[in-house]
Structure 1
Amino acid sequence: MMKPNKFVALTWMIIASGCGGSDGSGGEPEQPALALKPATPTFSLKPDAIISEPYAHIEFSSDLASSYECQLDSGDESGDIQECVSPQLLMPLTADSHRLKVWAVADSRARSDPAELSWQVASVFGTDGNVHTDLINTPVMPSKADPASWRGIFRINCDFAHSSYHDPIVYPGQANAAHLHRFYGNTLVDETTDIDSLFTKGESSCQGNTLNRSAYWVPALLAPEYNPATGEALYDEQGDLRWRVVPAVVGNDDEAHEIFYYSAGVDDVDAIQSIPVGMKIIAGNAKAGPGQQQDTGIVRWHCQSWESSDADNPRWSSAIPECVAPDRLRMDVFFPSCWNGTDLDSADHQSHLAYPQLGSGTQGMICPATHPVPIIRVSFHYAFGVTPDVYEPQSKSSRGWRLASDMYEVTLDSHGGMSLHADWMNAWHPEVLQTVLDVCIREGLDCHDGNLANGFRLTGTRPGSQTEPPVINMGMGN
Structure 2
Amino acid sequence: MHSWATLAVALLANGVAAQNMLRFACSQLVVDRIDPLVNPGVRYTPHLHQIVGGNSFNLTMDISKHDLAAQSSCTSCTFNEDLSNYWTAVMFFKAKNGTYKRVPQVGNGGPQGQLVNNGGLDVYYIPSGKVTAFKQGFRMLAGNAANTDNSKVSKGNICHRCWTSTNDNTFVGGAPCSGSDTVDIPQDTKCKMIRQTIIFPACWDGKNLDSPDHKSHVTYSGSGASGGGSCPSTHPVKLPQVMYELMWNVSSFMDKSIWPDSGPALMYSMNLGGAAAHGDYVFGWKGDSLQKAMDKNCNLNKDCPAAGLTAQTPAKYNACNIKQQAPETVDGWLKALPMGEMAIKA
TM-score range with shorter-chain normalisation? 0.7 to 0.9
Give the equivalent residue in structure 1 for 2:312: 459
Q: Distance in 2 between matches of 1:404 and 1:322?
A: 16
* Pairwise CA RMSD: 3.3
Query: Would the aligned equivalents of 1:325 and 1:396 in 2 still touch at CA under 8 Å?
Result: no
Give the equivalent residue in structure 1 for 2:257: 394
Shift of 1:466: 6.8
Give the equivalent residue in structure 1 for 2:328: 469
Residues 1:149 and 2:6 aligned together: no
Structure 1 letter corresponding to 2:232: P
* Matched ranges for 1:236-385 at <5 A: 241-250=98-107, 255-257=114-116, 259-264=122-127, 266=128, 269-270=129-130, 272-290=131-149, 292-305=151-164, 307-310=172-175, 314-324=179-189, 327-357=192-222, 365-385=229-249
Unaligned runs of at least 5 residues, structure 2 = 165-170, 342-346
Structure 2 letter corresponding to 1:298: N
Shift of 1:164: 1.1
Structure 2 letter corresponding to 1:273: T
Unaligned runs of at least 5 residues, structure 1 = 1-138, 226-232, 235-240, 359-363, 408-415, 442-446
Shift of 1:343: 0.3
Query: How many residues are treated as equivalent by the alignment?
Result: 302
Q: Distance in 2 between matches of 1:309 and 1:469?
A: 39
Over residues 57-77 of structure 1, what are the superposed CA-to-partner deviations in whole Å (9 max), with x where a residue is unaligned? xxxxxxxxxxxxxxxxxxxxx
Query: Would the aligned equivalents of 1:249 and 1:384 in 2 still touch at CA under 8 Å?
Result: yes
Query: Would the aligned equivalents of 1:155 and 1:448 in 2 still touch at CA under 8 Å?
Result: yes
Q: Distance in 2 between matches of 1:325 and 1:153?
A: 33
Give the equivalent residue in structure 1 for 2:79: 208
Give the equivalent residue in structure 1 for 2:344: none
Query: 1:469–1:440: structure 2 CA closer, same or farther, 3 Å change rule?
Result: farther
Query: Would the aligned equivalents of 1:285 and 1:420 in 2 still touch at CA under 8 Å?
Result: yes
Shift of 1:155: 0.7
Give the equivalent residue in structure 1 for 2:88: 218
Give the equivalent residue in structure 2 for 1:427: 284
Over residues 11-55 of structure 1, what are the superposed CA-to-partner deviations in whole Å (9 max), with x where a residue is unaligned? xxxxxxxxxxxxxxxxxxxxxxxxxxxxxxxxxxxxxxxxxxxxx
Q: Distance in 2 between matches of 1:423 and 1:313?
A: 22
Q: Distance in 2 between matches of 1:391 and 1:312?
A: 24
Give the equivalent residue in structure 2 for 1:10: none
Q: Distance in 2 between matches of 1:451 and 1:396?
A: 45
Shift of 1:396: 8.7
Give the equivalent residue in structure 2 for 1:436: 293
Shift of 1:357: 4.1
Shift of 1:281: 0.6
The structure 2 residue matched to 1:167, chosen from 28, 35, 39, is 35
Over residues 165-186 of structure 1, what are the superposed CA-to-partner deviations in whole Å (9 max), with x where a residue is unaligned? 1100111122223310011112
Over residues 398-424 of structure 1, what are the superposed CA-to-partner deviations in whole Å (9 max), with x where a residue is unaligned? x611001245xxxxxxxx222000001
Q: Secondary structure, in 3 states, of the residue corresponding to 2:194?
A: strand
Q: Distance in 2 between matches of 1:312 and 1:383?
A: 14
Q: Distance in 2 between matches of 1:327 and 1:249?
A: 12
Q: Distance in 2 between matches of 1:348 and 1:284?
A: 11
Shift of 1:292: 4.1
Query: Would the aligned equivalents of 2:32 and 2:48 in 1 still touch at CA under 8 Å?
Result: yes
Query: 1:372–1:155: structure 2 CA closer, same or farther, 3 Å change rule?
Result: same
Give the equivalent residue in structure 1 for 2:167: none
Q: Secondary structure, in 3 states, of the residue corresponding to 1:366?
A: coil
Q: Distance in 2 between matches of 1:303 and 1:331?
A: 9
Query: Would the aligned equivalents of 2:93 and 2:100 in 1 still touch at CA under 8 Å?
Result: yes
4+ residue segments displaced more than 6 Å:
139-142
The structure 1 residue matched to 2:301, chosen from 437, 444, 449, is 449
Give the equivalent residue in structure 2 for 1:127: none
Higher RCO (CA < 8 A, seq sep 6+): 2
Query: Would the aligned equivalents of 2:158 and 2:177 in 1 still touch at CA under 8 Å?
Result: no
Query: 1:440–1:184: structure 2 CA closer, same or farther, 3 Å change rule?
Result: same
Query: Would the aligned equivalents of 1:320 and 1:401 in 2 still touch at CA under 8 Å?
Result: yes
